[in-house]
Amino acid sequence: MILVTDVGNTNMTMGVYEGEELRATFRIMTKTPRTSDEYGILITQLLTSKGIDVASLEGSIIASVVPDVMHSLTGGIVRYTKTTPLIVGPGVKTGIKIVTEDPRAIGADRIVDAVAAYEKYGGPVLVIDFGTATTYDLITEDGKFAAGITAPGIRISSEALWKQTAKLPNVEIKKPKSILAQETISSMQAGLMYGQIGQTEYIIKKVKEESGIQNLKVVATGGLGRTISDETDTIDIYDSSLTLDGLRIIYEKNRRA
């Protein structure tokens, strides 16, 4: 079994694979400062609660967009799982060729999503990750990471509304009964949700138009991905485990290499 970890700006999502089967998943808050021992003990306890014997782990892999936590997190995994994590970055075999102007600037999470989408669904494919940021990444038919678009995520937009205004509250992010809102909370929900849906549909349209790829498969993932996917027919597939699957695939590629 292997331990896979996706370190995002808000949460770390972890999973345990036995072969291609995802045996367990759990989340840890990224912004809470922890020592390597705290990470190790917490991970060990979470694995045990899921019925996973830590001694059965053969390897581990991490993709991170938060450099500050890596020393403690990696140390905790090494000390408590007795595995040395493969860190997704330059030099790691992925099977995806990045042809953007600055390949090193592409986040590890986006590379992992691209690998998973291309391996699972083929190319050309547009991968949309509805996370802290909403990202759109274009992978060509021959496996090239050709372009990426980055927009504020729904939660960032929501926080900006209530933190930067005197009277607007923090609201639950969900679709209201109608876009024709008649009070503050539903008016904010309407703007956030329908704004995101409209952005998604327009960006997909423009990517197809400018790339000239009309047979583009669109795959979404991320915490709010299902909510948006259910509201538009421009998204073909919602895959909640896309990032974790990508980590497993990259780990296997490098183990074979």
Which residues are the active-site residues?
Answer: 109
Buried b or exposed e, range 138-163, using 16+ CB within 10 angstroms? bbbeebbbbbbeeeebbbbbbeebee
DSSP state of 215: T
Q: How many angstroms separate the CA atoms of 182 and 187, rounded?
A: 7
Is the backbone peptide bond immediately before 124 cis, with ω within 30 degrees of 0?
yes
Amino acid found at 125:
V
Q: How many angstroms separate the CA atoms of 62 and 197, rounded?
A: 31
Q: How many angstroms separate the CA atoms of 36 and 44, rounded?
A: 12
Q: Which two tokens stand for residue 221?
A: 């993932």
Residue tagged 């072969």 (tokens): 19
Q: Which two tokens stand for residue 19?
A: 């072969």
What Rg, from alpha-carbon coordinates, does the chain have? Answer: 19
Question: Are the CB atoms for 99 and 145 separated by under 8 Å?
Answer: yes
Cβ atoms within 10 Å, residue 107? 19
CA torsion, points 30, 24, 119, 155, in degrees to nearest 10? -40
What is Dmax (Cα atoms) for the chain?
A: 59
